[in-house]
Amino acid sequence: MQRTLSEKAYKEALRYIPGGVNSPVRALRNVGAAPLFVKKADKATFTDVDGNKFIDFCLSWGVFILGHNHPAVKKAVKQAVDRGSSYGIPTLVETELARMVTEIVPSIEKVRFVSSGTEAVMSAVRVARGFTGRNILLKFDGCYHGHADHLLVSAGSGAAGLKSSSSAGVPADFVRHTLSIPFNDTEALHQAFKQYGPDIAAVILEPVAANMGVVTPPIEYLRELRQITLQYGSLLIFDEVITGFRLSLGGAQQRFDIRPDLTTFGKIIGGGYPAAAFGGRADIMAVLAPDGPVYQAGTLSGNPVAMAAGIQTLHELQQPGFYLNLETKSNQFFGELKDLIQGKDIVLNHQGSMFTLFFSDHEIRNFEDVRNSDTERFAAFYRRLLEQKIYFSPSPYEAHFISQAHTAEQLEKTLKAVKKAIVNL
Ligand code: PMP
């Protein structure tokens, strides 16, 4: 594969940008490869600056459930741009998207827009603490909730590769109120509540973990979380930055019929533009300024271009049969993938239209299982796929995504590439 121009672009980027990238996992170091530089993307593919065209299963980390460059979203964005791009004054589109979110997602009565998932989670946690008057946040090892100081404790995603449990530059005092326990472990959950229950402001989780690779907890575990938080007066926060509008129109909470108190969104909700959101029960959201004492703000929050992209994306997702079609296609792919990896010490975890391949000989239920999987084998597998112009999310700790735009031929081609990649691996 010709990579001259990407290599040149990387060298140039390294002169001005730390590590040459604006988000660490893009550097492809977790898979022992050099980064690609993208020229353009369309539907389920992107083309790099050397002209190589890849089938994309990263999709901007789960954003493009409709595929890249969707014509209706593009049109809505172009129309929005023609009206100016930001005012710092309320617009009708913010209310329109807020109304749509409250109508679509069962637990949302009020919602506020921000610009990134990190910001959404930071704000939701502050609201939870402000509402309950308590400090402790309970999270789970391997769940990633953005890069705010107090959330980088045993975090997944790009932080999963870090040698220490939290980032350098975070004073120990800043994570004093964060507890992280094993995911999917009822015993550890009960223990934490027994010890700290009355001080726990909120429990936050990815209802289906996607940042340690896809790990789905049993529904009983999610019910247990709902029950125990109610019992102790703690709030339950679903971080649906990935699962929102992905696992069903109403996200994981609709798929599993569990009602959290607060929810965070990102990725799909911005249709490829910087928008994210947090929302939930109206009485809880009422603590936010200007109504209440919890401060939160943003210059570009509710940006009209991002709102237009989000609104159009949700309209597309509301088309009858959207999720059924996506999941039927995904399940067929997963079925064939499972046959391929049979007996190869590779585990396929999947939920809805997202999946991860773990190089392991046992079931993957939590972060420890994930960490015990063979990341070297994954890296070798990854490079072999890349050679065949298949772009998976570039880390053993990530989810890969299927979009509406992936064609049967592209999925077939991917299966062939996987078959070739696992020979003698
Ligand atoms: N929460 C989850 C579940 C995420 O997957 C991410 C990002 N991958 C975030 C929060 C942070 O979002 P952002 O990168 O937009 O800050």
State pLDDT tens for residues 395-414.
Answer: 999 999 999 999 999 999 99
DSSP 218: P
Phi, psi for 282 (deg, rounded to 5): -65, -40
Please identify, by atom number, the ligand 1 atom nearest to the C-alpha of residue 267.
15
336 token code pair: 């064939």
Q: In what order do the strands lie in the sheet with 53-56?
A: 38-42, 45-48, 53-56, 390-391
Q: For the chain, what is the mean pLDDT?
A: 96
Segment holding 316, helix H or strand E: helix 304-317
Q: Give the per-residue pLDDT at 161.
A: 53
Indicate if 194 belongs to the active site: no
Both tokens of 377, joined, read 């084998």
- What's the 56 CA to ligand 1 centre distance in angstroms? 19
Domains identified in the chain and CATH numbers: 114-317 (3.40.640.10)
Q: Is 144 considered catalytic here? A: yes
Instruction: Give me the half-sphere count of Cα atoms (radius 13 Å) on the Cβ side of residue 163.
Output: 1
Out of 43, 110, 139, 267, the active site residue is 267
Containing 349, the helix (H) or strand (E) segment is strand 347-351
CA of 118 to the centre of ligand 1 (A): 6
Percentage of the residues of the chain whose pLDDT score is greater than 90: 93
Q: How far is CA 147 from CA 124, 321, 410, 422, in A?
A: 14, 36, 34, 34
Q: In angstroms, what CA-CA distances link 403 with 42, 67, 116, 168, 235?
A: 12, 6, 22, 36, 33
Residue 415 clears pLDDT 70, i.e. is over it: yes
- CB–CB of 135/129 below 8 Å? yes
Paired sense of beta strands 110-114 and 276-280, if any: antiparallel
How far, in Å, CA of 81 to CA of 67, rounded?
21
pLDDT, tens digit, for every residue of 216-241? 999 999 999 999 999 999 999 999 99
10 tagged catalytic: no
pTM of the predicted model, to two decimals? 0.97
Q: Confidence band (pLDDT; 50, 70, 90) for 164?
A: very low
**Mean pLDDT across 13-38:** 96
| Distance from Cα 48 to the centre of ligand 1, integer Å | 25
Ligand 1 pocket (Cβ < 6 Å) reads 61, 116-118, 121, 144-146, 157, 206, 211, 239, 241-242, 266, 276
Please check the confidence at residue 422 and state whether its pLDDT lies above 60. Answer: yes
Question: Which atom of ligand 1 is the closest one to the Cα of 243?
Answer: 3
Distance 146 CA to ligand 1 centre (A): 5
Ligand 1 site-directed mutation target among 145, 214, 351, most atoms within 8 Å of CB: 145
Ligand 1 pocket: which of 241, 253, 262, 265 to mutate (most atoms within 8 A of CB): 241
Q: Is the pLDDT of residue 77 over 50?
A: yes
Q: Which of 55, 65, 118 lies closest to 243 in space, CA to CA?
A: 65
Give the integer Cα–Cα distance in Å for 67 and 78. Answer: 18
